A and B are shown apart, each in its own frame.
Chain A
């Protein structure tokens, strides 16, 4: 099945958005200059300017956003501080400790530690990302086979030091939020292509 992203043509030079502005020839003699000034003075262009700003003041259509109190919505695919998701049904951590994200990270800022737990399952004990190095490229989210590490929308991560970390407890969806259905799948890097279910074929049992 073909999946096609809707394509927006942003190549302005092909469409006819550009046009030449009419530029009057510059006056050369003093008399021409005087005529130009006189014409412009008579035409009342100055009052057009006055009217425009007065109109905006009367309309009072303020577009200021008082930032710490109000925030602009950000796109769902925005790549900010990471999250670790849980499985919907069981609530287990999705991460299987495969280490692919640690390996692919081009800033070398993911560090993890694993052990084998009682059920002989690999468990992640430590998982930290150094946000001072992370360039939010999204490779970790893309490479993760379990859709475990994804990006979130938390972009206010100023710190006093160059190196600062998020650890597993910060990123992992808390169980109560999961039960409340607050965990959201991430539509950005690494997400499943819409309609991909249909392109998966059952393995034919040839034997």
Chain B
């Protein structure tokens, strides 16, 4: 039993690592294509059919590029920072149920690495540790842009942790469990049972905070190309930079899974149709990340802080209070 369990877990981990590393690559392809179409361009066209092999070309380029460690950087920290970003992104995925359980060859597979009873707490906690990637990488880089970016990432991530936490509190009070599987099963009755209908405010707040957590465009000030070059990634090259990149895109996918599971019913009753619905929902949220990047401008850091502490946090607290009062009576 124990050996089988260990083998199964390792297999799951390997599958998740491979699938989401590949998806991160494909994510860049879709991002370029979607942005290009929205700006009336064609995007990558020349490598492979419709530029599909561009991902492979970029992968080869990243792997074979010289790994430059500049002078004056704090070497051990500079080297380990990208690993933190990628590793925490994938560690966070351990408690996410990607797919309902299914039976293959008489063997029941649970497509979740560890169904722990504090699932969502674990996911958010580990994603929060991901802050150390940009923070340490930026501070170790001996570059002023990176330093600014590190300071910003610390400020943004810590502030928006508050929003994610508070906004999730209200739905969690209703469900009464922190396990993502339990949250999913709470909404098993179909579209009318989705938490988004009873907690629309929490849904919007969490969605907004997700943009800050992943550093995507309206809140992209951590690595804003036009003001601080590539922020914490400025001094990085080759695969170390690639790890930052994989971490960012994996995070986008995982946070999309989390939103879809908590607020939009997840995989529903666990049938194949429900499972594909989950993938559709995730695809929508991922697409929305790209969509906003084409449509919206970036906000200033002070505006972001203002939004967080003076608007979103009071709303989140109010939401919790109202939910509590409604649940009491």
Contact = CB atoms under 8 A, between A and B. Distances in A.
- A and B are partners in one complex rather than unrelated chains: yes
B15 interface: no
Contacts, number: 38
Contacts of A66: 42, 45
A66 B41 CA distance: 10
A201 to B, nearest CB: 56
Nearest to B37: A57
Given A46-B296, A50-B292, A56 B311 contact: no
Nearest to A38: B311
A74 interface: no
Residues of A contacting B: mostly: helix
Interface in B303-325: 310-311
Nearest to B295: A49
B65 interface: no
Contact of B295 (A34, A50, A63): A50
Interface string A25-56: 00000000010010000000010011011101
Interface in B140-187: none
Contacts of A57: 34, 37-38
A64 interface: yes
A89 interface: no
A63 B296 CA distance: 22
A46 B294 CA distance: 12
Contact of A62 (B41, B291, B294, B295): B41
A60 interface: yes
B40 interface: yes
Contacts of B296: 46, 49-50
A179 to B, nearest CB: 40
A70 to B, nearest CB: 11
B38 A54 contact: yes
B192 interface: no
B117 interface: no
B271 interface: no
A117 interface: no
Contact of A53 (B41, B45, B295): B295
Nearest to B42: A64
A52 B40 contact: no
Interface string A160-195: 000000000000000000000000000000000000
A63 B41 CA distance: 6
Interface in A89-131: none
B21 to A, nearest CB: 28
A193 to B, nearest CB: 41
A37 B310 CA distance: 12
A61 interface: yes
A56 B42 contact: no
Interface of A: 34, 37, 46, 49-50, 52-54, 56-57, 60-64, 66
12 contacts: A46-B295, A50-B295, A53-B294, A56-B38, A57-B38, A62-B41, A62-B42, A63-B40, A63-B41, A64-B40, A64-B41, A66-B45
Given A46-B295, A56-B39, A64-B42, 4 more contacts: A49-B295, A57-B37, A57-B38, A62-B42
